[in-house]
Amino acid sequence: MYAHQTHELDDLTTSLPRGGFEFSPAAQAEAEAVLATGPAGIYTRLLADQETEATLLVARRVLAAFLADQQDRPAEPVTAAALAALVAEARAELAPQVARLTADPATKAVALRGRAPVALLAGCWLDTVSQPATQPAIVVNRLYAQYFEHKGQGRPQQSVLQQRRRALEDAGVLLPQVEEADFLTRARARPLAALHGAFLLALSRLPAAFLPEVVGVQYAFHALGLDDLLNGTEPPLAVEELLTEYVELTDRSDTGAEDRQRLAGAVRLLVRIEREQLALLTELVDHRAGMSLDARVAEIVERHRPYAGRQHKNVKIGGELLSETFADPQFDLAAFMAEFRASRQLRPLRGGGCPFTRAVKFGGPMFGIFDEAEAAAFKEWAAAVAAGELAGEPLRPDTSGDRPAAHWQRAVLAAAPKDLRFAEAAPADDREFFHRLVNIEQYPNTLELAARTAEEGLARAELLFAHGAGGRYTDASWLDYSPEALLERVDRIYWDKLVGPFRPLQELPDRDEVIFHQKTFALGSLIDGTWAYRIGNLGRYQRQADAMLFSIYADEMGRGELAKNHITLIRQVLASMDVQLPHIRSAEFLEQGELPDELYRFSIHQICLALFPDRLHSEILGYNLGIEMFGLGEMRLHEVQKLRRYNLDTGYEEAHLSIDNFSAGHARQSAEIIISHLDGVRREAGQAAVRREWRRIWRGYASFAWFVEHHLVNSLATEADTADDLVI
């Protein structure tokens, strides 16, 4: 499956240099505030926010807490066989315990609900493992191939996440999407489940810095297969070769010994987490089995109490207004249940039932508040009260998983990683700014500067709304949106600007000039696909447009196949020219002399956009259209002609001419992505929202045009200077 002939261009990286993490001073107080919100608050913040440095600081603290015990262990020999045996032993231990939990539908439903906060995160740690700092490492491509499979190969309904959701629904557990605000409440998530989920989410925010841990979690999570045992399904991924190959790679790495220890620590930690998960599920099932009917109803009341309010108007229980009783900070659930049992709301009516159960039925004032199972429990309870069968029982609080949860929560609050620095970001020049953006996990304090830079570039590019028709390869002049208008514009750009002008070159420049011209594109090529590398992350993969853009990025990365990875292809082109460059993430790249300084701004703009897939989502869609169309036509055909003349590698240029084709390739797909996205906006928010989103999309397209239309932009600058002179 992973057969690969290694050669001198292969990136054998097994971990990135550990240079610490630099945050601004303001991030510290914000992160402390998040950590103080407790397990549910930490989980929610890590899931909902992928764009601020405070979240990355929270992630670093969480990872420090969970990994501390493993890092303090004495070093020991690590082999793939030993780790596989450890996981196999744990799976054999867990299997009979899982069988007990899934013996009947009722207990299985309890177990699956309790597991949902972790099960529905599966694979999140791979969301951004493929990024400018890590590509094209062999292990990253192995991981990305599995990630692509996990995501349903760009088809969300076939993803492992959707398979897990369908299993929950089949068991009668209906939950909102994991990113929705009430997910943890509806899942009745215990603190331990939220903390375990927080660890996985934290890893998803810093995967480059914790690459050995990502490999270990990916292997152990799928090899243990707790979710497969619970659902009675086959493992979705085969991970044995991943483990073997990674250990083999560490044998050839300068950091191999340390990386193997980190790998083993992550495997052991994941085994511990899954054991704690299974113990939690067992406690949940046992607690549910030991609950009386009265206690089950009390649990339902407590679950809905925070949402009860003025709608109860003059309803009284025990002589007190229900709205005031439920709002009381000293609310006593046991006392309320006693009052409720004795209230007129439960007195039998001649036609059957009681006022309360009638209120819950269709047409009643409380219809729809409780789900089917809850309504059935109330009906059974009311009948038992009427029959004198319930006198009330002491309510046992659910403490499932609380002991290990308390341990992890203390560890998170006390975590003080020694690799943190606090300073404002102040890059000296474009080279340093680029270095920080590529290594953004190490420099989260650069995020705010990146956001400002992106916004400045987008605002500046709006000048082309009036002048963009003069572009050589693009036309960013304004058009009022309709699907037909957009397709007409891209058709015209394709034929009039990209394909129509092509004529084979009659005179070819000399070899040195060809190489120099290739160098002017090289920096952008070395971050190929970056604009979309954060699209499709957990909680952001339901829209068809995002799935389509995710698939484009996957194609740019060869879907995990090194030979098709565009970063591999450009490295091969440069090698054919005897251009040797250190990896763009490295400190050595700061000093490289092959690529001139004026090239950096284009790549800086692209990475700045990429870092904000939520707030700049629409702009990224427009930028994607520009860059995918640029891969077609005259320019690339001329480059192929020049490269062939001097027997230089043409693989990168030819790949784009093929994959970006205008019939069904990335160029056509990019227009269809915009149409799909705006159609969804129209249906959800109306035509006015479409106009707002369209302007944002088109400024994204214009921002790409700004960097490739040098003659047009320079002429506009000259006109502006002349106008200023005339005014003076």
Residue 131's pLDDT is: 98
Write down the pLDDT at residue 290.
Answer: 84
CA distance 65 to 43: 15
What's the confidence (pLDDT) of residue 82?
97
Question: Coil, strand, or helix at residue 147?
Answer: helix
* β-pair partners for 59: none
Instruction: Using the predicted structure, report yes or no on whether residue 243 has a pLDDT greater than 90.
Output: yes
Domains and CATH numbers, the chain: 21-290+408-422 (no CATH), 293-386 (no CATH), 430-727 (1.20.910.10)
Per-residue confidence (pLDDT) for residue 658, from 0 to 100: 80
pLDDT tens digit sequence for 556-572: 999 999 999 999 999 99
Tokens of 465: 């709304």
In the structure, what pLDDT confidence band is assigned to residue 471 with cuts at 50, 70 and 90?
very high
- Record the tokens describing residue 307, joined without a space: 């949402």
**What number of other Cβ atoms are within 10 A of residue 678's Cβ?**
24
At 482-507, the pLDDT tens digits run 999 999 999 999 999 988 888 998 99
pLDDT of residue 397 exceeding 90: no
Tokens at residue 57, please?
């600081």
pLDDT band at 722 (very low <50, low <70, confident <90, very high): low
- Most distant pair of Cα atoms in the chain: their distance: 101
- In this prediction, residue 8 has a pLDDT band, given cuts at 50, 70 and 90, of low
How remote is the C-alpha of 486 from its chain's centroid? Answer: 30
In this prediction, residue 202 carries a pLDDT of 98
Q: Compute how many other C-beta atoms are within 10 angstroms of the C-beta atom of residue 244.
A: 17
Whole-number percent of the chain with pLDDT over 70: 96
725 confidence band (pLDDT: 50, 70, 90): very low
Res 613 pLDDT > 70: yes
DSSP 8-class letter at 124: G
Rounded mean pLDDT, 102-110? 95
Lowest-pLDDT choice from 97-101, 201-205, 232-236: 232-236
**Contact indicator for 243, 270 with CB cutoff of 8 Å:** no
Answer for the pair 638, 505: CB distance below 8 angstroms, yes or no.
Answer: yes
Query: Is the bond into 136 cis (omega within 30 degrees of 0)?
Result: yes
658 against 266, higher pLDDT: 266
* pLDDT tens readout for residues 112-122: 999 999 999 99
Confidence of residue 306 (pLDDT cuts 50, 70, 90): confident
pLDDT at 372: 85
pLDDT (mean) for 203-210: 98
Residues facing residue 11 across a β-bridge: 137
Is the model's pLDDT at 7 over the cut of 70?
no
Model pLDDT, residue 319: 83
pLDDT reported for residue 264: 97
Position 53, amino acid: E
Question: Among positive and negative, which fits the CA dihedral 310, 316, 322, 325?
Answer: positive
Rg (CA), the chain: 29
Q: How do 320-321 and 316-317 pair as beta strands?
A: antiparallel
Q: Look over the chain and give the mean of its residue pLDDT values, rounded to a whole number.
A: 92
The residue that leads in pLDDT, 319 or 353, is: 353
pLDDT digits (tens, 9 = 90+) for 340-352: 998 999 999 998 9
For residues 519-529, average pLDDT: 93
pLDDT of residue 3: 44
- Among 384-393, 418-427, 582-591, 695-704, the range scoring the smallest mean pLDDT is 384-393
Going by pLDDT thresholds of 50, 70 and 90, the confidence category of residue 311 is low
Predicted local confidence at residue 244, as pLDDT: 97
Is the pLDDT assigned to residue 723 strictly greater than 80?
no
In contact, 227 and 115? CB cutoff 8 Å = yes
pLDDT for 249: 97
Asked if pLDDT for residue 1 goes beyond 70, the answer is no
Q: What percent of the chain has pLDDT over 90?
A: 76
Average pLDDT over residues 698-712: 96
Residue 656 confidence (pLDDT) above 70? yes
What are the tokens at 344? 């007129």
pLDDT at 728 over 60: no
pLDDT category of residue 4 using cuts at 50, 70 and 90 = very low
Going by pLDDT thresholds of 50, 70 and 90, the confidence category of residue 154 is: very high
Q: CA-to-CA distance for 561 and 272, rounded, in angstroms?
A: 33
Q: What is the mean pLDDT of residues 595-624?
A: 96
Instruction: Please give the residue that has the higher pLDDT: either 717 or 354.
Output: 354
Report the distance separating Cα 155 and Cα 547, nearest Å: 7
Q: Which residues pair with 320 in a beta bridge?
A: 317
Rounded to an integer, the average pLDDT of 61-88 is 92
Phi/psi for 186 (5° steps) reads -70, -30
Higher confidence at residue 633 or residue 520? 520
Alpha carbon 610 to its chain centroid, in Å, reads: 13
pLDDT value, residue 665: 85
Section 9-30 average pLDDT: 94
Cβ 502 vs Cβ 633: under 8 Å: yes
Nearest-angstrom CA–CA distance, 536 and 315: 47
The predicted pLDDT at position 6 comes to: 47
